[in-house]
């Protein structure tokens, strides 16, 4: 997994590439934790994310909960495989996913 962050004032874009699984999810979680202060507009760019498991969903849920208190969060570039996981778990209803 690879994480790239780009910040402009209170707007943060995080591009996550590769696999978001049990071994890599903690890294994304701590990376987001250290950057979210003061962020009102969070974009998670998943266009190069190949794979997600429940460990990744947990990070998304806790991030969504945090962003609900301080601004907005959206996901872009979600591929078919990752989308299926969101749909099966009801995450497509609680996340803002842009086509």
User: Which one, 36 or 55, has the nearer CB to other proteins?
Assistant: 55
Q: To 5 degrees, how large is the angle CA 50–CA 56–CA 61? A: 130
> Shortest Cβ distance from residue 87 to other proteins (Å)?
10
Cα–Cα distance between 51 and 85 in angstroms, integer?
Answer: 9
> Shortest Cβ distance from residue 8 to other proteins (Å)?
26
User: Which one, 6 or 84, has the nearer CB to other proteins?
Assistant: 84
> Shortest Cβ distance from residue 64 to other proteins (Å)?
5
> Shortest Cβ distance from residue 27 to other proteins (Å)?
13
Residue 37 CA, distance from chain mean position: 16
User: Which one, 6 or 50, has the nearer CB to other proteins?
Assistant: 50
| Interacting residue ranges for other proteins, rule: CB under 8 A | 21-23, 50-55, 57-58, 61-62, 64-65, 68, 80-81, 84-85, 88-90, 93-94
- 49-65 burial, b at 16+ Cβ within 10 Å, e below that, comes to beebeebbbebbeebbe
Cα–Cα distance between 57 and 21 in angstroms, integer?
Answer: 9
């Amino acid at each position: 997994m690879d994480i790239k962050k780009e910040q402009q004032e209170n707007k943060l874009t995080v591009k996550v590439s590769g696999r978001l699984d049990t071994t890599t999810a903690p890294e994304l979680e701590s990376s987001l934790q250290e950057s979210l202060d003061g962020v009102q507009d969070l974009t998670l760019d998943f266009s190069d994310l190949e794979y997600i498991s429940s460990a990744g969903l947990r990070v998304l849920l806790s991030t969504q909960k945090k962003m609900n208190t301080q601004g907005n969060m959206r996901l872009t570039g979600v591929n078919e495989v990752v989308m299926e996981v969101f749909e099966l778990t009801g995450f497509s209803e609680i996340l803002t996913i842009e086509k």
